[in-house]
């Protein structure tokens, strides 16, 4: 429709110019309009509305634009919406973020502290959601020992994530050693997160990208806060 509108404007402008031509008799108007008319060079079925009948050049432009958009989303970055409180307080319901896909493809593997988007592994507990996209924080990588006790998360015997704690964790877990080529992911809101403590480690190949930037709401625009890998002792 935009291409058709532009063509119509161009025809209208050309028509005005034709009336002021050297001949002065208006004969050039019809010729100019015929030359500048929007030509549909595709044989559309009768049921296709006229406003959707584009010529080959415009169809190619639309297809190329669509392909570039899909390629960018698949290989470079994509926007995401936060639907739950599992990552509160870093992310609230309704927050929107950008997840980039370059780092894990070309630079490095996911590491502790990264916030990742991923498809959950196919397990008995995730069989109905294995194709959905989750967002959690990597708290441990292959070889790390994860344990939850006395209301705290420990990785390799060191308390981790106290700064993000809303309340003491209300379950015990582990100790569990993260297998090779896997990650252990948890929501920052530990007691309200369906994560690795419930369904097990996350294979690295299930990771889609790394959350890097929050763009909505406007008062929260910016990068994500640092996640310290060691935490000072605080009152429990």
What is the DSSP secondary-structure string of 82-94? --SSTTTTTS-TT
The full set of domains in the chain, from first to last, is 2-74 (no CATH), 78-223 (2.10.109.10)
What pLDDT is attached to residue 166? 77
Tokens 């493809």: give the residue.
Answer: 105
> For the chain, what is the mean pLDDT?
79
Rounded CA-CA distance 227/170 in Å is: 22
Percent of the chain with pLDDT over 70: 67
Position 208 confidence tier, pLDDT thresholds 50, 70, 90: very high
Question: What pTM did the predictor assign?
Answer: 0.69
The reply to whether 86 belongs to the active site is: yes
- Residue of 14, 86, 130, 196 marked active site: 86
Task: Calculate the CA 209 to chain-centre distance.
Answer: 8
- As given in the structure block, the two tokens for residue 212 are 């890097």
Tokens 């927050």: give the residue.
Answer: 95
| Rounded to 5°, angle at Cα 190 from 228 and 230 | 20
| Rounded to 5°, angle at Cα 149 from 147 and 154 | 40
pLDDT at residue 232 tops 70 = no
pLDDT at residue 171 tops 60 = yes
Nearest CA to 188 out of 144, 117, 137, 135 is that of: 137
Position 118 confidence tier, pLDDT thresholds 50, 70, 90: very high
User: What pLDDT, in 10s, does the model give residues 82-115?
Assistant: 999 999 989 999 999 999 999 998 999 999 999 9
Alpha helix positions (H), 76-141? 102
User: What pLDDT, in 10s, does the model give residues 39-91?
Assistant: 766 777 878 777 666 676 666 676 666 565 555 455 567 899 899 999 998 99
Task: Calculate the CA 52 to chain-centre distance.
Answer: 30
What pLDDT is attached to residue 71? 55
């Amino acid at each position: 429709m935009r291409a058709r509108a532009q063509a119509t404007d161009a025809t209208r402008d050309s028509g005005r110019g034709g009336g002021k031509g050297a001949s002065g008799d208006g004969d050039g108007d019809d010729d100019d309009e015929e030359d500048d008319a929007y030509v549909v060079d595709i044989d559309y079925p009768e049921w296709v509305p006229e406003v959707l009948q584009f010529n080959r050049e415009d169809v190619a432009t639309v297809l190329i634009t669509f392909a570039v958009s899909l390629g960018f989303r698949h290989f470079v970055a994509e926007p995401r919406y936060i639907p739950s409180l599992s990552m509160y307080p870093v992310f609230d319901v309704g927050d929107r973020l950008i997840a980039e896909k370059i780092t894990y493809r070309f630079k490095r593997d996911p590491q502790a502290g990264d916030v990742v988007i991923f498809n959950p592994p196919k397990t008995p507990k995730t069989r109905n959601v294995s194709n959905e996209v989750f967002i959690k924080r990597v708290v441990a990588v292959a070889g790390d020992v994860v344990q939850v006790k006395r209301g705290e998360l420990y990785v390799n015997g060191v308390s981790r994530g106290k700064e993000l704690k809303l309340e003491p964790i209300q379950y015990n877990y582990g100790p569990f050693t993260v297998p090779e080529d896997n990650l252990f992911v948890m929501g920052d809101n530990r007691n309200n997160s369906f994560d690795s403590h419930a369904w097990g480690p996350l294979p690295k190949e299930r990771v889609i990208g790394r959350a890097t930037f929050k763009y909505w709401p406007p008062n929260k625009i910016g990068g994500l806060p640092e996640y310290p890998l060691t935490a000072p002792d605080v009152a429990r």
